[in-house]
C-alpha cells in the first residue's frame, strides 16, 4: 500500500525537514507540497491524497480552515504539525489522526504512520465491502438477504461478563462498564458504583469487547466511549476523559486519536 502524501507549511525549511524524515518510510509517496491554505485546498481536491501533513498557523487560511474547506469531498487523513501546544484540543475536534510538535520527533512520526496505515486499511476494506454489496445487489440479490447486518456482527462480542471476585461470581453487563485498568494479569473493572477484579489479560479482554464502544486510551486503560461526557485538555498533548460517574481517565499521547471518534 502506497500512502500518497501532501505536505502543507508556509516554512520552506519545515517542509524540507519533514520530507527528509519521510524518506525513511518507503511506502510514503510525497505527491506535492503547498505553502498556504488556498493552495492546499486546491491540491487536495485535485490530487486526492491519502494523507496531509498540515501546519496550523499559516497566513490567510490556517490549517483548520483547510480541513473545513474540503469537507464536501471524501477528505484525506490529516496530521497537524505545529510549534504551538495550545492547538491540541482543536486538532482532536477536527478529527486529526495525530498532532506532532515541531521539530518532528522520528519515533512519534513512525507511530503516526502506523496509525495512518491502520486507518487506511480500515477505510479501504469498508469501501471494498460497499462495492461488493453493490455488485451483489445487482447480480445476486438473494445473496444480500443472507448477509449479516450490523447488529448480527456486533453479536459476536460479549454482552455479559462473568467475574469471579472475592469468592463470588458476578454477572456484569458490559454496557455498565465505565473503564478497565490493567494490573499485570488482572483487570480492574469499574462500573461507576462498583469495582471488580478479573483474572485475564487486557489483550484477551479486548477481543471480547466491541471495539466500536470499548477503546484503549492508555497502555493499561480501556474506556467505554458511551460513558464519556467531557474531554479536558492536559499538558504535552494529553487529555482527560470525564466519565458519567465523574471519574477522570487520562488519554496518553499514543492513543489520542481515539478522541476523534466521538469529539466533533
Q: SS3 of 212, please?
A: coil
pLDDT of residue 143: 52
Residue 3 confidence (pLDDT):
96
pLDDT in tens, the chain (264 residues): 899 999 999 999 999 999 999 999 999 999 999 999 999 999 999 999 999 999 988 888 888 889 888 888 888 999 988 887 666 656 655 567 788 888 899 998 998 999 899 888 877 766 766 666 666 566 655 555 555 555 544 557 888 888 877 777 888 899 999 999 988 778 899 987 788 888 888 888 888 898 888 988 888 899 998 888 888 877 666 788 889 888 898 888 777 666 665 544
| Overall size of the chain counted in residues | 264
Helices (H), 4-157: 12-22, 37-47, 63-69, 88-93, 106-139, 141-145, 150-154
Rounded to whole angstroms, the Cα distance separating 232 from 220 reads 20
Q: What is the per-residue pLDDT for 260? A: 60
pLDDT confidence of residue 183: 80
Cell of 93: 475536534
Q: In this structure, how many other beta carbons lie within 10 angstroms of the beta carbon of residue 140?
A: 11
Burial category of 215 from C-beta neighbours within 10 Å (exposed 0-12, middle 13-18, buried 19 and up): buried
Amino acid at each position: 500500500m502506497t500512502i500518497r502524501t501532501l505536505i502543507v507549511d508556509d516554512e520552506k525549511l519545515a517542509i524540507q525537514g519533514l520530507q527528509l524524515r519521510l524518506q525513511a518510510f518507503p511506502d510514503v509517496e510525497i505527491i506535492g507540497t503547498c505553502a498556504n491554505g488556498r493552495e492546499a485546498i486546491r491540491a487536495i481536491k485535485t490530487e486526492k491524497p491519502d494523507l496531509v501533513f498540515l501546519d496550523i498557523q499559516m497566513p490567510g487560511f490556517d490549517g483548520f480552515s483547510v480541513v473545513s474547506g474540503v469537507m464536501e469531498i471524501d477528505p484525506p487523513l490529516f496530521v497537524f504539525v505545529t510549534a504551538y501546544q495550545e492547538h491540541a484540543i482543536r486538532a482532536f475536534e477536527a478529527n486529526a489522526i495525530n498532532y506532532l510538535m515541531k521539530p518532528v520527533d522520528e519515533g512519534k512520526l513512525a507511530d503516526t504512520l502506523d496509525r495512518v496505515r491502520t486507518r487506511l486499511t480500515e477505510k479501504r476494506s469498508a469501501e471494498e465491502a460497499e462495492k461488493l454489496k453493490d455488485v451483489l445487489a445487482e447480480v445476486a440479490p438473494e445473496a444480500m438477504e443472507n448477509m449479516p447486518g450490523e447488529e448480527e456482527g456486533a453479536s459476536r462480542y460479549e454482552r455479559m461478563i462473568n467475574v469471579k471476585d472475592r469468592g463470588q461470581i458476578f454477572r456484569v453487563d458490559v454496557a455498565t462498564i465505565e473503564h478497565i485498568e490493567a494490573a499485570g494479569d488482572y483487570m480492574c473493572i469499574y462500573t461507576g458504583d462498583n469495582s471488580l477484579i478479573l483474572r485475564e489479560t487486557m489483550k484477551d479482554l479486548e477481543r471480547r469487547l466491541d471495539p466500536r464502544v470499548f477503546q484503549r486510551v492508555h497502555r493499561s486503560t480501556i474506556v467505554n466511549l458511551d460513558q464519556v461526557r467531557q474531554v479536558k485538555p492536559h499538558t504535552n498533548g494529553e487529555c482527560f476523559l470525564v466519565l458519567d460517574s465523574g471519574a477522570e481517565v487520562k488519554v496518553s499521547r499514543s492513543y489520542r486519536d481515539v478522541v476523534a471518534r466521538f469529539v466533533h
